[in-house]
Chain A
Amino acid sequence: MLAHYGPQLVNLLAAVLLLLAFAMLSQRRILSLINLFAAQGLVLFLATVLVAMITAQGHLYWSAAVTLLLKVFLLPWILHRLIRRLNVKWDVETLVNIPTLMIFGLVIVILAFNLAAPISLLAGTVTRSTLGIALASVLLAFLMMITRSKAVPQVVAFLAMENGLFFAATATVYGMPMVVELGVALDVLVASLILGVFLFQIRSRFDSVDTRHLERLKEH
């Protein structure tokens, strides 16, 4: 039964991942954004565990555990603490209005699916069709990063991009070797900590975390 329903469940989780990426794209409130990011981490954890069970690859369980610890608990906790101490406002404006953003997002999804199609055909994993979704999540996170003007959503977008990449690794190659996975996780953690420190410095210098203040260095 697992062999039959397992891949379908993974597909369902991949679809939910894509939905969460869209939800993050259109989200107005920072708090919900962070919770959506945690939800994405949870979906990733479930998908990795499922793939581990279907393909009997032991190292994926460790990978899933690291994901759970880092992306569902540690990183959202760091982010929540950050916005509490930074005292940021609840609502975030986007540089482009939300319906237009949705349409860009749909175009990006179509592009990503097309790009991933030839690779999916070659893959030998049960989850190969989800590569398009993984690439789409990465590109949607990128779109989110460039259309936000506050620093904290940009940080969340950066982390969401890494979520998409992790899913791509799970989808096409059943996860990278453990050393690499651990290294990437470490990088992400250190990056978040550095960003936290950094945002304080920006805050204390500019009295705001609006990144439009950070556009004064132009070509002379």
Chain B
Amino acid sequence: MGAVLALLVVPLAGGAVLALIGHRRYGPEVNAAFSAVTFCAAALLVGRVIEEGSISVLEEQFFVDSLNVFLVALTAFVSMTTSLFSRPYMRIERSHGRVSDAGMRLYHAMYQLFCFTMLLVLTTNNLGVMWVAMEAATLTTVLLVALYRTHAALEAAWKYFILCGVGIAQALFGTILVYFAAERILGSGMTALLWTHLDSVKAGLEPTVMSIAFVFLLVGYGTKVGLVPLHNWLPDAHAEGPTPISAVLSGLLLNVALYALIRFKVITDGALERPFAAALLTGFGLVSVVVAAFFLSRQRDIKRMFAYSSIEHMGLITFAFGMGGPVASFAGLLHMTVHSLTKSAIFFTVGHATQKSGTQLMEGIRGLVRVSPALGWGMMLGAVAILGLPPFGVFASEFLILTTAIAQQPWAAPILLVSLGVSFAAIFGKVQAMVFGEPTAARLPHRPALAPVFAHLALVLLLGLYIPPYLVDWYRRAAQLIG
């Protein structure tokens, strides 16, 4: 119980503290410190779950099982490494005059609050609180996307707010309908919103209501995952905010939204006989992969390109969960982990590269390996990792997904292969041009924080070669849960 409470209270306290002192010279260090403490709490929680199995805390209001424990650890870890990356990055942004004092306070406070909301979504057992926390996660990041106050930033933040807000409203209606269906069996009151109780009675829930509810929930939370055609806000929002925010949005928030969707899918599958939810997920996932791959190849802004890559990968994961079965779900969960680590690593390198070159357009960034070899090779390795080359972890998960697709949905496999191929060519070509060639980058006052990049890539490499037994166990159990 202590671990879960600490996990949530620390970022909340961090937000309050940093709202006051975030602009000081040591503000970024305080930010990193809070994130480190959160990570320790997460590690403690992981230890407890390894010992005891699923735990539920505080009168069943919080529930940690095999599905969300690794996501909690991942979220805490990536937010810690991102806070380390954000130290020199935001200092340079400040020295360039792009962010004011008030902006720094807002940035740091909202960063901690954002972590709090994400962890709340992951650990809560109450579906209503899950909704509230998802909406709060959007709200904390809206002002951050608009931090630079340029035309593009304001437009991106406005789209983000309106589109995600509308989407989330649909998800609220879906939640109300789920509560309505649950109330008939579990009685009114808080228990009808607790996921664990719903899971135990899911066979008795009204099929009509649940199918309508799932459609609303898919539209709602699917907007936050970035499924096509609800993805319009994503490339702008991920491209215009400060890069640490892009990293956590791409790496963490999309996962969290998909997690929420999966929780509802489990219940819907139990209520309906036919594979309704699975078919919807497969369809949306496949469309997302195809559309993202083709848009990706036309991008000129580096962060937009990687944002489309996030859409593509989330589509792939959704497709895997839609297919179902132990192998595909296992692969989907693994892919969630490795994609998060790799994409955030890429965004770290992208952040430094854009700062050094002074532009986000890819034609303006050249010769990174000459200016800073670690940065250049970091970006190269990151790109190679995300494109699914062995022995990185992404290869393992993509391979599993594709082989399952060939077995279960043979018509989809060539479409997936072509899309992955298109994005491979586009990203590899662009990254190669950026890393090699005549340098356009400059040296900057603060040294880039490249340790997080290599830490992430090392983990991804590790996961490609060897997955620790407890992780395998969690993935397997969670895959069983997802069905």
Contacts and interface: CB of A to CB of B under 8 A. Distances in A.
A and B in contact, CB less than 8 Å: yes
Interface size range on B against A: 35 or more
B158 interface: yes
B129 A180 contact: yes
B283 interface: no
Interface stretch (A19-27, A35-43, A96-104, A170-178): A170-178
Given A138-B173, A217-B236, A205 B154 contact: yes
A194 interface: yes
A122 B128 contact: no
Nearest to A123: B180
Interface string A123-158: 110000000000100100010010000010010001
Interface size range on A against B: 35 or more
Contact of B151 (A173, A183, A194, A216): A216
A122 B179 contact: no
A158 B162 contact: yes
A205 B151 contact: yes
A8 interface: no
B155 A216 contact: yes
Interface string A173-217: 110110110011011001100110110011001100001001111
A218 B342 CA distance: 27
Pick from A151, A179, A216 the residue with the most CB of B within 10 Å.
A179
A118 interface: yes
A220 interface: yes
A216 to B, nearest CB: 7
Interface stretch (A45-53, A63-71, A161-169): A161-169
A165 B169 contact: yes
B154 A162 contact: no
Contact of A122 (B132, B152, B206): B206
Given A138-B173, A165-B169, A201 B154 contact: yes
Given A154-B162, A158-B165, A194 B298 contact: no
Interface in B191-242: 193, 206, 208-209, 212, 236
Given A180-B128, A190-B139, A194-B142, 12 more contacts: A119-B208, A135-B173, A161-B166, A173-B176, A176-B128, A176-B176, A179-B128, A184-B131, A202-B158, A206-B151, A214-B155, A217-B159
Top 10 nearest A-B pairs by Cβ distance?
A180-B128, A183-B132, A214-B155, A187-B135, A172-B180, A177-B190, A173-B180, A220-B300, A169-B176, A161-B169
Interface of A: 115, 118-119, 122-124, 135, 138, 142, 145, 151, 154, 158, 161-162, 165, 168-169, 172-174, 176-177, 179-180, 183-184, 186-187, 190-191, 194-195, 197-198, 201-202, 205-206, 211, 214-217, 219-220
